[in-house]
Amino acid sequence: MTDKIVISEENEEFLAKVSEISGQVITLCDQCGTCSGGCPMVTEMDLTPSQMMRMVQMGQREVLDSKAIWYCASCFTCTVRCPRGLDLSKVAEALRQITLRRAVDYIDINNFPKDDLARLPQIALVAGMRKFTG
Ligand code: SF4
Ligand code: SF4
């Protein structure tokens, strides 16, 4: 029988928060790696999707500092392949939401080149700010 891994109360709170926002039972992840194997963005990420899941399972808030949560394109490849039925894109979104709620600017719209501001569709700017503003 496998011993239960005990994590600190603070880490437990973080796991509970991500679980609540994402609606996923993150502890079900058995680290099979299927998500990482099929992710089209994994070569750009500093953490693989399965590493992201493991850090959340362990309640490690440092996952919020990773670029991987922003590089996830919500393509759902991992979602349809996960043998545990987990929606990792929702977990990545939950991690972004937690960062966004800290209300710390990640980028400054004032530093955008004026040409880009005039050229880019507004919906792309809003989507970009949503992902890149914390
Ligand atoms: S595919 Fe599912 S069970 Fe496997 S590592 Fe990824 S999230 Fe965990
Ligand atoms: S939803 Fe995100 S983590 Fe999953 S395969 Fe797509 S880019 Fe990778």
Looking at residue 79, which CATH number applies to its domain?
A: 1.10.1060.10
The answer to whether residues 56 and 68 belong to one domain is yes
Q: Determine whether the shortest distance from the Cβ of 52 to ligand 1 is under 6 A.
A: no
Q: Determine whether the shortest distance from the Cβ of 91 to ligand 1 is under 6 A.
A: no
Q: Which sign does the torsion angle of CA 84, 82, 64, 132 carry?
A: negative
pLDDT at 4: 76
Q: Domain count of the chain?
A: 2
**pLDDT (tens place) for every residue of the chain, 134 residues total:** 567 778 899 999 999 999 999 999 999 999 999 999 999 999 999 999 999 999 999 999 999 999 999 889 889 999 999 999 999 999 999 999 898 888 766 567 788 888 988 888 888 777 777 765 43
Q: Is residue 91 part of a domain?
A: yes
Q: Coil, strand or helix: which one is 33?
A: coil
Distance 100 CA to ligand 1 centre (A): 25
User: pTM value?
Assistant: 0.84
Q: Is residue 3 part of a domain?
A: no
Atom of ligand 2 nearest to the CA of 88: 4
Distance 82 CA to ligand 1 centre (A): 5
Q: Looking up tokens 């990545």, which residue turns up?
A: 92
pLDDT at 127: 75
pLDDT at 76: 92
Q: Which sign does the torsion angle of CA 101, 107, 110, 112 carry?
A: negative
130, 91 Cβ separation under 8 angstroms: no
The answer to whether residues 115 and 132 belong to one domain is yes
Q: Determine whether the shortest distance from the Cβ of 68 to ligand 2 is under 6 A.
A: no
50, 36 Cβ separation under 8 angstroms: yes
Q: Determine whether the shortest distance from the Cβ of 29 to ligand 1 is under 6 A.
A: yes
Residues of the domain holding 25: 9-102
Rounded-to-integer distance, Cα 113 and Cα 117, Å: 6
Q: Is residue 95 part of a domain?
A: yes
